[in-house]
Amino acid sequence: MYRVDEDKVYSAYDHAKEMYAEFGVNTDEILKEMDKIHISIHCWQGDDVIGFEEGVNGLTGGGIVATGNWPGRARNGAELREDIEMALSLIPGKHRVNLHAIYAETDGEFVDRDQISIEHFKKWIDWAKEKGIGLDFNPTFFSHQKANSGYTLSSKDDKIRKFWINHGKRSREIANAIGKELNNQCVNNIWIPDGSKDLPANRIEHRKLLKESLDEIFAVKYEKSNMLDSVESKLFGIGSESYVVGSHEFYLGYALKNNIMLCLDMGHFHPTESVADKISSILTFSDNLLIHVSRGVRWDSDHVVILNDELLSLAKEIKRCNAYDKVYIALDFFDASINRIAAWVVGARATLKAILISLLEPTHLLVEQENKGNLGNRLALMEEFKALPFYAVWNKYCMDKNVPIGTSWINLVDEYENKVLKHRN
């Protein structure tokens, strides 16, 4: 692949710096701002959401599916951490790693989800300490025999519901312990697959049960410096096309009433809905917001994130709300049809590019024209700003962070695949 000449990177950056300065933007300061932003890299891209549970063969149920069979899937914690390290070495900046409960390491012993504890994540914590990174967490309410009915926290079966409540409690205990151990706040996000394939006769009963379950899970209060709770909605999934208990409206109401962070997944809404447009409304009433960066294609198919209009709109809205210190950003996609490390790197770099573009935007000039009522000028400036040379600033950012510039990282992924991934059976 083409390798960028470093002298050309500096020269292009100097030219871009001058161009942005004409619009009142200091690119050196923007690069410092990028250092404050840490996205959470999801571990489940590396093994197709299979996890390490004894006696479980992989992703089942929950309205989600990983397709493809690219060679080299991580089969255990050591391989998964090795692959994540490789991906992180190609992504500029200091970032986090996001775990699901099914990535507990139990040394060959079957431990059901209502019994998991912090000891089963010790290897992850020790690794995070060594790398100097933070960890986030997610209870896993799918791919389990007690989720086969399509209902977990909203199940009418008291025993099933109690099992999942206990899993939610255990997960919060683990997230709190992770944050305390690492001295780095851990976000614990709850998403459940509950819903119906066809039209239900009674929607509200399941939602009342879900509220009761959440109330019990959140009854214990933890220091926010250690752990921050969030709840995630969804429009529909495979097997829940007609009804999802944890809808956007349900969780928006629950989160605001109970002072819990809301999570918006970019793939969990109607294709014509703008997730970006929801940000300012939510932040008017809530201190924080979690965004799961994904890419739906026709439906919630969790495609690898690319630098498209939806992602750019999202980043620009966060910037225009002056909210990068309030919004938590995590990746959430899985594609087993391509090299999994390439998927991580493409998605993370696309997300960081969008963030950089948003920070480089001369927003003050847009607001100035808006306040004057010059909406034609505002639109004209928006169009002109699209052509500003952000890529020169991006290359300088990558160089400063000692990660590959341009397409040169692709060679390194190919080398890793030939040396490591192809030797896994």
Q: Are residues 245 and 151 in contact, defined by beta-carbon separation less than 8 angstroms?
A: yes
Residue 12, phi then psi, degrees to nearest 5: -65, -35
**What is the distance between the alpha carbons of residues 188 and 193, in angstroms, rounded to a whole number?**
17
Of the residues 44, 127, 164, 191, only one is catalytic, namely 191
Residue 151: HSE in the Cβ half-sphere, 13 Å Cα cutoff: 21
Q: Which residues contact 94 (CB under 8 A, 6 or more apart)?
A: 35, 38, 132, 133
Query: Which residue is catalytic, options 194, 265, 317, 417?
Result: 265
Active-site option among 53, 181, 232, 317:
232
Catalytic-residue membership of 268 = yes
Which residue in the list 17, 120, 167, 268 is annotated as catalytic?
268
Question: Is 300 tagged catalytic?
Answer: yes
Whether 112 is catalytic is: no
Amino acid in the structure at residue 332? D
Q: How far apart are CA 352 and CA 339, in angstroms?
A: 20
Please confirm, yes or no, whether 265 is among the known catalytic residues: yes
- Please, what's the b/e burial string for 192-221 (b: 16 or more CB within 10 A of its CB; e: otherwise)? bbbbbeeeeeebeebbebbbebbebbbeee
Is 400 catalytic? The answer is: no
Among the listed residues 48, 229, 302, 335, the single catalytic one is 302
The dihedral of CA 364, 365, 366, 369: what is its sign?
positive
292 has catalytic annotation = yes
Can 129 be counted among the known catalytic residues? no
Closest CA to 230 of 282, 301, 295: 282
Catalytic pick among 144, 206, 278, 292:
292
**Is there a catalytic annotation at residue 191?**
yes
| Catalytic residue chosen out of the listed positions 17, 206, 234, 248 | 234
Contacts of residue 165, Cβ cutoff 8 Å, sequence gap at least 6: 153, 213, 216, 217
- Nearest Cα residue to 331 out of 23, 112, 88, 29: 88
The residues carrying an active-site annotation are 191, 232, 234, 265, 268, 292, 300, 302, 332
